[in-house]
């Protein structure tokens, strides 16, 4: 009877350890796919300012990645909020405005960015590689990525100002906790 009891206790202990490992809050899924809880797919894109930008170049800084086009009416509604929130949280989070240049024009993207006063990087997805990696089906689509490169949230379609700010704060806080 004592032997069975030891085996049962050992089995329970192993089960508890397995469950604890699965539920460990700081574990990061290293698979790169455009889904919440996974590592954001890497990209490197040229920008309107002539620079080249990537997720790796952020060095642990959280980022909001907004996919948009100059002809998109909901993007026009969302643009002023992105500008306002970038000014408010600049230094704590980066904003990458990824123009779907494969379905837009560089001229259109530049005019849009100037009209709304974008001071954050406007990236040009001329071949559609980033939008394919992120499985963009409608715009705007916005990804919130923490400093470890993990996707925390995704908003498809027009996001309210409150939602944008709440998710920006969440990405900033998650990045602080990870340090």
Q: What is the pLDDT of residues 46-56, one digit of tens each?
A: 999 999 999 99
Q: Using the predicted structure, report yes or no on whether residue 6 has a pLDDT greater than 90.
A: no
Q: Give the residue, 96 or 59, on which the prediction is more confident.
A: 96
Rounded to the nearest integer, the mean pLDDT of the chain is: 88
Helix (H) and strand (E) counts in the chain? 5, 9
pLDDT of residue 32: 76
What would the pLDDT profile of 86-134 be if each residue is shown by its tens digit? Answer: 999 999 999 999 999 999 999 999 999 999 999 999 999 999 999 999 9
Higher pLDDT, 18 or 39: 39
Domain map (residue ranges) of the chain? 29-178
Confirm if 107 and 99 have CB atoms less than 8 A apart.
no
State the Cα–Cα distance between residues 105 and 179, nearest whole angstrom: 39
Which residue from 60, 45, 62 is spatially nearest to 153, judged by alpha carbons?
Answer: 62
Per-residue pLDDT band at 10 (split at 50, 70, 90)? low
Superfamily name and number for 29-178: Glutaredoxin (3.40.30.10)
How many Å separate Cα 151 from the centre of its chain?
5
How many other C-beta atoms lie within 10 A of the C-beta of residue 91? 6
Q: Which residue has the higher pLDDT, 20 or 58?
A: 58
Lowest mean pLDDT across 29-33, 44-48, 155-159: 29-33
């Amino acid at each position: 009877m004592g032997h069975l009891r030891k085996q049962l206790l050992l089995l329970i202990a192993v089960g508890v350890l397995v469950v604890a490992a699965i539920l460990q809050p700081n574990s990061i899924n290293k698979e790169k796919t455009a889904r919440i809880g996974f590592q954001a797919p890497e990209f490197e894109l040229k920008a309107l300012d002539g620079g080249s930008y990537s997720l790796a170049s952020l060095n642990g800084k959280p980022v909001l990645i907004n996919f948009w086009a100059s002809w998109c009416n909901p993007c026009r509604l969302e643009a002023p909020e992105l500008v306002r929130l970038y000014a408010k949280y600049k230094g704590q989070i980066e904003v990458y405005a990824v123009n779907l240049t494969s379905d837009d024009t560089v001229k259109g993207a530049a005019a849009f960015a100037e009209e709304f006063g974008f001071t954050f990087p406007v990236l040009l997805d001329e071949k559609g590689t980033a939008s394919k990696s992120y499985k963009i089906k409608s715009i705007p689509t916005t990804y919130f990525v923490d400093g470890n490169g993990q996707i925390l949230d995704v908003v498809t379609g027009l996001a309210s100002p409150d939602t944008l700010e709440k998710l920006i704060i969440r990405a900033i806080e998650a990045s602080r906790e990870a340090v």
